[in-house]
Amino acid sequence: MKSKTQKGRQGEEVAKLFLENKGYKILETNWRFDHKEIDIIALKDKEIVFVEVKARKNSRFGEPEEAVDEKKQQRLIEAAEAYLSGNDMDFEARFDVISIINNTEIKHFPYAFYPSF
């Protein structure tokens, strides 16, 4: 049986391939700042895209994207701010969520949430 971490990494790989097939350039995967992590950082049409991936075996306990609550969003925003300032990037930024069920059903939510700067 795969561990939760192994399942998560497998879902992130599925999401990465999905994005690459849609023309995204992957800049980073599993980028960390303090105890915060951004699953995928990509570039698409002059936008830097911070992607949270949620993968589940099934939706018995709710849709995967529902797990990206306000607390998780805030951690992603803080990590994204650190990435942007540390890399001196001058791109518009957005936050996407990719929901994966059983590594086959993929839903992409561009502009899933907005930071409140």
- Domain architecture of the chain: domains with CATH: 4-113 (3.40.1350.10)
Which parts of the chain are beta strand (E)? 25-33, 36-44, 47-56, 92-101, 105-113
pTM of the entire structure? 0.91
State percent of the chain over pLDDT 70. 91
Q: Which residue would you say has higher pLDDT here, 96 or 85?
A: 96
Per-residue pLDDT band for 7 (boundaries 50, 70, 90) equals: low
**Pick from 100, 114, 79, 102: which is nearest to 19 by CA?**
100
Averaged pLDDT, 5-20: 86
Task: Summarize pLDDT for 59-79 with one digit per residue, the tens.
Answer: 888 889 999 999 999 999 999
Whether the pLDDT of residue 1 is over 60: the answer is no
